Amino acid sequence: MTLLLKLLLAPLLVVASSLAGRRWGAQVSGVLVALPIVAGPILLIAALDHGPAFGARAAASALLGLVSLALFVAVFGRAAQRLRWAAALAVAWAACLAADALLALVRVPPLLAAPLVLAAAGLAARALPPGAPPPAPAVVTRPPWWDLPARALATAALVLTVTGAAAAIGPAATGVLAPFPIATSVVAAFALAHDGPAGAVRMLRGVPGGLVGFTVFCLLVALLVEPMGTYAAFALALAVTLAVQVATLVALGRRRPAPVAAPLP
């Protein structure tokens, strides 16, 4: 059951966020892909297997891992301007893993870690290159039939790799690695390959906003899993996170410029 959760939830989110991006824009896809669909099950399984105290520590460490996720967004966005998707992904992963290695050695109270994550998300958004407007409908190319299955398979492969490594290196690193940019990597790489640097940046611009909900999720789990119990704490954290993500999507929709009316003759 645990393996099925890891293999199915993240690929389904990637497919859903990809379809949403095609319908409502790449930035919406970035917000959705920042949901804790991979980190959530990892933290839940850790709490169930090792107890609420272990789960609280892992969730607190996961908050610091979100700083690395914000770093990934900034580095990939910059690298995408000059490199192909594989090289840009390698550079961003190297930066993310180096940050994770350092953050795994640090213990920060959750109430202090949360503002650090939000600050890192703001800096990541500022570090991204200026975005270009989306292409006109006449020049949008239809993705090949294998696009969505390839994204799902790539996500599943990354989930297996990262969760296997995290289980081997202990609880602190498990928490830090829980938010490793699995779904974000897949969606960003495909955006760069299909839509070029401008398309990748448009997608990445949604991720910092999505990190607000991710931060709320990890913070609530870290603070509530011991006094409330595992299932109640995770249920409340998930409900609040979904509400925050919906509010973020609504805010993005209001920020879009309205179409300019043609001048009267």
Instruction: List, for residues 129-164, the tens digit of each pLDDT value.
Output: 885 544 444 444 566 677 778 777 877 777 777 667
262 versus 2: the higher-pLDDT residue is 2
User: Considering the chain, what is the average pLDDT of its residues?
Assistant: 81
Please state the domain count of the chain.
Answer: 1
Distance CA 88, CA 144 (A): 22
Distance CA 194, CA 4 (A): 29
Distance CA 38, CA 177 (A): 10
Whether 183 is covered by a domain: the verdict is yes
- Cβ-contact 34, 206 below 8 angstroms: yes
Whether 2 is covered by a domain: the verdict is no
- 190 pLDDT more than 80: yes
Whether 91 is covered by a domain: the verdict is yes
> pTM for the full model?
0.79
What is the arithmetic mean of pLDDT over 19-40?
71
Q: What is the pLDDT of residue 264?
A: 38
Is 35 strand, coil or helix?
A: coil
What is the arithmetic mean of pLDDT over 60-75?
94
User: Which pLDDT band holds residue 68 (cuts at 50, 70, 90)?
Assistant: very high
Whether 176 is covered by a domain: the verdict is yes
Alpha-carbon distances of 95 from 29, 98, 239, 255, 256, rounded to whole Å: 23, 5, 32, 31, 32
Question: In which domain, by residue range, is 192 found?
Answer: 54-132+145-254
Whether 68 is covered by a domain: the verdict is yes
Highest mean pLDDT among 19-23, 50-54, 114-118: 114-118
Whether 16 is covered by a domain: the verdict is no
Highest mean pLDDT among 21-35, 158-172, 211-225: 211-225
8 versus 27: the higher-pLDDT residue is 8
Which of 264, 123, 104, 227 is CA-nearest to residue 177? 104
Amino acid identity of residue 146, one-letter, is W
Whether 34 is covered by a domain: the verdict is no
- Cβ-contact 182, 35 below 8 angstroms: no
% of the chain beyond a pLDDT of 70: 78
Whether 174 is covered by a domain: the verdict is yes
